[in-house]
Chain A
């Protein structure tokens, strides 16, 4: 058992379900999601905030899962890629990523989709430069980004046409 001084009970919502658990205070949220809840769609690359593979939504905003303690998620709403698929924006992005082979090895894809969906949902008509800026914190080592930017641009254009609610 963990030392009570270094373990705390938390209660949070993960993908719409209430979760209660006692966590080691030094465990970061991405490890909690992966190792305790089995939600392995949240990937871990660098674990110091550089690569973006662990990006999840915390209270509706993308954050680095490796730079938030699980203990800090107490009382919060967490959404991982497993739950984000319910959003139209994510479904459209998945379709366009698939069409363009914008997910090659797939390691960056969950974080990329969460970050891109945030742009699709909140930006009006982003330019390619805006898209690259918004995705600047998510590394992809396969695609060279071109197909990813193409996919996000296509979804933003579809939204601007009114095809995507």
Chain B
């Protein structure tokens, strides 16, 4: 090990450099153990899953939790199960696993198309599906795509289990329906009830960065020919956005120029971009319209 095994010294200097604030660290060895700990510590505790957003927050001392509950050892929280009803993606499933999953590509091609845009390879090896949902970054891909896929989230606490549709889960900036004693244990993505087509676009400063503007769209066609459209946008509000008015303008009609223009007209009702370090709200609003049009032209093709 060369210079190793010398204790906490390097070049004779005692090193006390610490970036994160002090906290207690507890490895949960089962889901019940984690839920007991959360029931005890409540808002003083943070769940540590992949840590790809939590550790930066700690390194920069933007949060000071008393306790970190590491759930990485809970095998039952990982993995993707496929059944006739759909997919169940365990909270601890790493982004790289979702990206590589043939089941995801078959049942939720929109998610497969979005995954290469989720961060960079080294972060995808560690970051988790449930972590991205629980964090609820308004510029992240996974929360928005779950909206477009009509996903349902399973939330567990010592008090019991509840299932919350994605459309109700995201409340505001980094704010969800999760109570302090709850863990998001899985996302359930239902099988499409008819043939589906989807398209995804994202504008970011650098491949893998959080979006300036992103759009995921899905259209399902029922046996009677009626269509259901979901359009989810991210980076253009304080939470991921299900653009309901925009989608309604596109249902049960051909996706021709008139339909696309009607949709773009409605978009202003659905999004509420804010100024940020990259650009003004007005510029984001304009780019969202351009991107919506790009996505819809791909859906129509």
Contact = CB atoms under 8 A, between A and B. Distances in A.
B22 A37 contact: no
Contact of B207 (A61, A82, A132): A132
A163 interface: no
Contact of B208 (A6, A62, A63, A136): A136
Nearest to B126: A63
B2 A62 contact: no
A66 B122 contact: no
Nearest to B52: A67
A24 interface: yes
Contacts of A118: 121
Nearest to B72: A72
A69 B123 CA distance: 14
B25 A6 contact: yes
A28 B123 contact: no
A36 B18 CA distance: 13
Contacts, number: 127
Interface residues of B, number: 42
Contacts of A14: 1, 4
| Chain A contact residues, majority secondary structure | mixed
Contacts of A62: 121-122, 125
B20 A26 contact: yes
Given A25-B23, A72-B72, A133-B116, A36 B8 contact: yes
B190 interface: no
Nearest to B4: A37
B223 interface: no
B169 to A, nearest CB: 25
Contacts of A49: 52, 55-56, 123
Among A17, A34, A35, A64, find the residue whose CB has the most chain B CB atoms closer than 10 A.
Answer: A64
A120 to B, nearest CB: 13
A41 to B, nearest CB: 11
Interface string A118-147: 100000000000001110111000000000
Interface string A4-33: 011010000011010100001111100100
B23 A67 contact: no
- Nearest 6 A-B pairs (CB), nearest first? A137-B120, A38-B3, A48-B56, A25-B25, A37-B4, A26-B20
Interface of A: 5-6, 8, 14-15, 17, 19, 24-28, 31, 34-39, 47-49, 52, 55, 58, 61-64, 66-69, 71-72, 82, 115, 118, 132-134, 136-138
